[in-house]
Structure 1
């Protein structure tokens, strides 16, 4: 059985759990990181030298970094579905997965400021800058999704998972957002997937 080390409220762990659920894979969640600790233990550092979550252990194969884990699971268990066969579709999924890492870095200061920082200690200018910068990225995604049902094309793929976990946070933060009708429609399509609602959108931001 797969082992996923991490905590359910982590965006990066949610990507992996969502992927496992989409592929109907049996897994065990080993709670680690945040209040659970364990990531500084020698046992964990032997698996993942960064001390971050998630880490996947699959029959002796160890993978860390969330998007790498999603790719690994999609390739091993989701050929033709999460792992697109068509070269262009696959390349598009890969490109948007890379793009997501940049967007999360831009959004993260606002997320940390609004969700994990007491109101009296928040850096309002930093939060505002993060929201404004992220809004530009979301408009770009909206333009793309106006032409495609999912990020890689007409079908759901591994490319939607990292971006979906990020957009879920963007849409749930108490902030002003520009109109993004195509992005909003896409997120509603994601919300019809049990794995997304169970592993991402129903979990409180924390």
Structure 2
């Protein structure tokens, strides 16, 4: 059985859990990370020298980096409908996954740590305001893309790109900040909520 190392509250672990739900793939998850077993333990570092979750073990195959993991899972376990083999269609999915991992992920960093984690090191008003503006600017990019597709981030059908993007939308909506009106993003959120995997893991089991 697939082994997943990482606490269920981690946004990157939730990518893997949601992907498994879409594939109806059984797994055994172990709590590692802040508040649980330390990823600095030698047993964990032997699997991922970066000391970060998630990590998977699939038989004797070990893999870390969440986007690499979910690409592997859909390729290995019949998820081609989410990650097409045709090069141009696949590149479109990869484009939005990579955008989430770089631009969008970086955009929310200061605001999320300040407003949700309430870190004392992230309470500068000017930096917070700049972070909120940058996050909103990136979410507006997503809004325009969803207006074009009318459905999901890479086109008319749900794809692997919607897993990291959908988790990002959840984080955007759950963070207490002033948000611009983004009706296409709101409609997208409603569509994602029709999927059991998103209700369980995209929202982290919250109502």
Whether TM-score is above 0.5 comes out as yes
1:151 to 150, 153, 176: 153
The 1-side partners of 2:79 and 2:116 are apart by 37
1:176 to 167, 171, 178: 178
Asked whether 1:15 is paired with 2:15, we answer yes
Asked whether 1:86 is paired with 2:86, we answer yes
Paired positions, count: 204
The 2-side partners of 1:11 and 1:124 are apart by 26
The aligned residue for residue 132 of structure 1 is: 133
How far is the alpha carbon of 1:200 from its aligned partner?
Answer: 2.1
The 1-side partners of 2:99 and 2:200 are apart by 24
| Cα RMSD (Å) | 1.7
Give matches, 1:182-201, under 5 Å: 182-201=184-203
**Residue segments in structure 2 that go unaligned for 5+ positions in a row:** none
User: 1:78-137 CA deviation, whole Å, 9 max, x = no partner?
Assistant: 343122233322111100000001211210211111111268973332222111001111
The aligned residue for residue 141 of structure 1 is: 142
Contact 1:168 1:200 in 2 (8 A): yes
User: 1:111-169 CA deviation, whole Å, 9 max, x = no partner?
Assistant: 11111126897333222211100111111111111121111211111111111111110
The 2-side partners of 1:101 and 1:80 are apart by 21
The aligned residue for residue 52 of structure 1 is: 52
Q: TM-score, normalised by structure 2?
A: 0.93
